[in-house]
Amino acid sequence: MKEATRKLLAKAARVLEFAERLKAGGDAEFVVGRAYYAMFYVAEALLNEKGQRFRKHGGVHGAFAVHFVKTGMLDGKYHRWLLEAFSKRITGDYGIDAEFTAEDASLLITQAREFLDAAKQFLEKGT
């Protein structure tokens, strides 16, 4: 595994720890953004292993679908979760009336953690 990939996966794990602390503090609106970024770093890590780097979120989203979902390497739910979390992050970061619940926060953290675990397992297999 490439060093940058390891760093991105570690960053995703740290962001998830922070999201858990935010959730405990009742800040569901901010958990949404952190959970998205955890997923984003996971997708970046996977793409990094293929020598793919992007400057924009949309590039990462699209390339992840092409290289991992359409090829059947990873379940398409991870791409769907990434896109849904991105949409929620935009609402949470830029909306003034965003209302996310503790359940919303918990679900996104769970999805991000599952995505991170799946990526680690995939990369450990070396496929």
How do the pLDDT tens digits run along the chain, 127 residues long?
999 999 999 999 999 999 999 999 988 989 999 999 999 999 999 999 999 999 999 999 999 999 999 999 999 999 999 999 999 999 988 888 888 999 999 999 999 999 999 999 999 997 5
Per the structure, the complete domain to which residue 12 belongs is given by 3-125
Q: How many domains would you assign to the chain?
A: 1
Alpha-helical regions (H) of the chain: 3-24, 28-49, 57-64, 77-94, 102-125
Per-residue tokens: 80:
């769907």
Rounded alpha-carbon distances, angstroms, from residue 2 to 5, 45, 67: 5, 9, 17
Domain CATH number, residue 71: 1.20.120.330
Count Cβ atoms within 10 A of the Cβ of residue 34 and give its class: 0-12 exposed, 13-18 middle, 19 or more buried.
buried
Q: Please state the pTM of the whole predicted model.
A: 0.94
